[in-house]
């Protein structure tokens, strides 16, 4: 009989979600729980958004996840001092028992998402347990690592998904039963999302989750840089240590499908007329004189038959589709799977940006990546640039490529809703 090697034995461990003593705001010490929450650190990208959150409440979580000071060292020291002070003052208190946390998000449009927050064992890439689908930028990983080291804490969970597909029904049923009980936390944030949190401490419940997750494989939906940070810090600290685990939210998308949205491009300094002129003979271009919602429907229809984009910025919409096959053969890398080669984002970056429009994809002076569709169009019309509106990629396509070890082109898609930061933290001395 063949004896399993170390890597095979490690791979059989599966996903391991460990209970922890959550660090949470005392609702009696803050203006409101909603006022101390924030979107994840990388969504709060504009100074006006940061300052808005800071003014919402003196204890808003952005003072920890995005501290402001003259140098990185000063920022991290400030975050650590702030965290220690809030804990000493009782603004943040540690739950009495270790547990996992059922987390629910609901909006007014019928979206409902539930998952489990816990401390996940940080696994190696060769275990194929946590699959990334995007590359990371080293300077951001270094920044997040320095902040985590300074605070000795995971300040916000990243978002992972797994397709239960009937194999994790016990956990799904547990989540449903828990959601019928009184939560330890409930609040509604200014974006209209209702948030509820429950603590799971019963040993049988914890064992149910542990057994179910042992056979699952997770996809990073949001938080690639934080996962890379977890791996970096675990490698720097001898095991066993608190760095062996990282704070995550795990969502079963067979039960609760995520909302998948596109990330659009704003091309600075490229007028729509020039962008369209360069496409002559390479793509089919049709002008669409309608409102944005109808134009996006036209894009969705065209995307079902092949690569399609919607250009805007001159007061109209221009549907760009049916690329010349010879052009794609010359410009899209041939060493990638066929599914990757046919992605809109792959064609956009390899063909349009690189070869047709000659725009560097990593230069903020030339290109911006924006989640909001209307905002992208408004900025293009105001600045005289070109908005390139995209159709979202299906989650199963992202997962299939991730399983093959193939990363998506930069900013290909956005999964959500993302967990609010500030509802539960993980301090290493808790």
Work out the angle at residue 219's Cα, subtended by the Cα atoms of residues 67 and 370, and round it to the nearest 5 degrees: 50
Confidence of residue 5 (pLDDT cuts 50, 70, 90): very low
- The string of DSSP letters for 261-300 reads E--EEEETT--HHHHHHTTTTTSEEEEE-S-HHHHHHHHH
CA atoms of 254 and 164, how far apart (whole Å): 5
Residue 45 has a pLDDT of 55
Contact 253, 217 (CB under 8 A): no
Indicate whether 46 pLDDT > 60: no
- The neighbour count for residue 172, using CB atoms within 10 Å, is 18
Indicate whether 430 pLDDT > 90: no
CA atoms of 403 and 163, how far apart (whole Å): 13
Output the average pLDDT for the chain.
Answer: 92
Indicate whether 385 pLDDT > 60: yes
Confidence of residue 11 (pLDDT cuts 50, 70, 90): very low
Indicate whether 40 pLDDT > 90: no
Residue 7 has a pLDDT of 44
* Residues contacting 207, CB < 8 A, separation 6+: none
Closest CA to 307 of 321, 324, 326, 287: 321
Closest CA to 140 of 62, 53, 223: 223
Residue ranges of alpha helices (H) inside 106-164 are 138-151
Work out the angle at residue 341's Cα, subtended by the Cα atoms of residues 408 and 286, and round it to the nearest 5 degrees: 105
Confidence of residue 127 (pLDDT cuts 50, 70, 90): very high
Contact 78, 69 (CB under 8 A): yes
Indicate whether 8 pLDDT > 50: no
CA atoms of 425 and 92, how far apart (whole Å): 9
Average pLDDT of 299-326? Answer: 97
CA atoms within 13 A on the CB side of 211: 12
Lowest mean pLDDT among 101-105, 165-169, 298-302: 165-169
Residue 98 has a pLDDT of 97
- The string of DSSP letters for 71-117 reads SHHHHHHHHHHHHHHHHHHTSEEE-SS-BEEEEEEE-TTS-EEEEEE
In this prediction the pTM is 0.86
Average pLDDT of 329-346? Answer: 94
Contact 101, 118 (CB under 8 A): yes
Work out the angle at residue 129's Cα, subtended by the Cα atoms of residues 127 and 132, and round it to the nearest 5 degrees: 105
- The string of DSSP letters for 162-199 reads E--TTTTHHHHHHHHHHTTS--SEEEE-TTS-EEEEEE
């Amino acid at each position: 009989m063949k004896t399993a090697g170390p890597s095979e034995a490690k791979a059989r461990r599966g996903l391991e979600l460990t209970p922890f003593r959550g660090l949470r705001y005392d609702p009696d010490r803050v203006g409101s729980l909603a006022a101390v929450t924030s979107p994840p650190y990388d969504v709060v990208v504009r100074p006006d958004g940061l300052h808005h959150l800071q003014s919402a409440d003196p204890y808003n979580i952005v003072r920890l996840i995005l501290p402001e000071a003259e140098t990185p060292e000063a920022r991290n020291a400030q975050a650590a001092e702030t965290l220690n002070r809030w804990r000493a003052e009782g603004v943040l208190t540690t739950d009495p028992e270790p547990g996992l946390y059922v987390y629910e998000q609901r909006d007014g449009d019928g979206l409902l998402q539930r998952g489990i927050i816990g401390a996940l064992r940080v696994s190696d890439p060769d275990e194929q347990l946590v699959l990334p689908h995007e590359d990371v930028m080293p300077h951001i990983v270094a920044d997040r690592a320095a902040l985590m080291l300074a605070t000795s804490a995971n300040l916000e969970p990243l978002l992972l998904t797994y397709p239960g597909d009937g194999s994790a029904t016990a956990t799904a049923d547990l989540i449903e039963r828990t959601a019928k009980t009184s939560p330890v936390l409930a609040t509604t944030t200014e974006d209209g999302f209702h948030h509820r949190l429950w603590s799971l401490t019963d040993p049988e419940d914890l064992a149910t989750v542990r057994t179910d997750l042992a056979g699952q494989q997770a996809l990073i939906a949001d938080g690639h840089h934080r996962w890379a940070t977890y791996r970096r810090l675990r490698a720097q600290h001898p095991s066993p240590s608190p760095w062996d685990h990282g704070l995550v939210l795990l969502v079963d998308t067979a039960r609760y499908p995520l909302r998948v949205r596109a990330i659009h491009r704003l091309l600075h300094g490229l007028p729509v007329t020039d962008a369209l002129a360069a496409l002559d003979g390479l793509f089919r271009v049709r002008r669409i004189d309608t409102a944005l919602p109808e134009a996006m429907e036209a894009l969705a229809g065209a995307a079902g038959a092949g690569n399609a984009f919607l250009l805007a910025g001159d007061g109209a919409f221009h549907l760009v589709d049916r690329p010349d096959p010879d052009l794609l053969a010359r410009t899209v890398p041939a060493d990638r799977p066929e599914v990757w080669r046919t992605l809109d984002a792959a064609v956009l970056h390899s063909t349009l940006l690189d070869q047709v429009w000659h725009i560097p994809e990593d230069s903020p002076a030339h290109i911006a990546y924006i989640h909001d569709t209307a905002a992208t169009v408004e900025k293009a019309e105001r600045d005289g640039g070109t908005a390139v509106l995209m159709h979202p990629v299906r989650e199963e396509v992202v997962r299939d490529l991730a399983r093959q070890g193939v990363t998506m082109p930069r900013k290909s898609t956005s999964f959500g809703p993302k967990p609010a930061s500030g509802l539960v933290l993980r301090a290493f001395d808790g």
